[in-house]
Structure 1
Amino acid sequence: YLKRTHDTIFAIARVAPSLNAEFLTAITAMQRRFRGVRRHRHRRRRRAVQRWEALQYERRTMVALGTLVVLIFVIFALYISLVFGGALAGEEARAWLVTAAAAFIADTLLLQPLQI
């Protein structure tokens, strides 16, 4: 972009040599502005990356805690299923599992979207 602007202004300056100083000033001002914007963008991105890297420990901790909560929930659900499956007779256990599955599906499909 800067090279094209520079070339265009110099092509115009060749046509009107008396305006060379003004064109050079214009080119310099545009380049300075463009480089300032680019430098500002670079600094902002570098700060964002530094913040991202600084929070690496916290991100890993949250992922580990989330994984632990899901694992505990799954183990608890398996334990409850085994306890009720072993305590109830065949038909009662099947009815309990169907009821639990229906309640889970109803909660997931009907109630959770309303809460969000």
Structure 2
Amino acid sequence: MTTPTTGRPQTAYKVLTADQMAALERDGSFAGAPVDVADGYIHLSTADQLTETVDKHFAGQSDLHVAAVDLGSFDTSLKWEESRGGQFFPHIYGLLPLETVIAYGPLERDDTGKVKLPVAG
């Protein structure tokens, strides 16, 4: 789904380790992975960017999870910024609250190798 005024997706995705996913569930928010903390914001990817993000930044890792984040829940703390290959990525400058996560589950791939998006349920 995209936002009508910007054409940008309303949902983005955060890849988390099992420990990070457990912390998000336990604490009700997530301050970011080490790379997020170092960069000063939480990195998210759109559905179209997700598989490339996993392949580039999480290669060889197992027990990963994907959280679908409702971008409409954020105000000025959400910024779309140019990054890899000139693409614009959503970044959260602040915490990722659990209540903004609309679906999550273990990272799985389809028959073509594309990361499957989590389904609410």
Rg larger for:
1
Which one has a larger percent strand, Structure 1 or Structure 2?
A: 2
Greater RCO, CA 8 A, separation 6+: 2
TM-score by length of 1: 0.17
TM-score by length of 2: 0.16
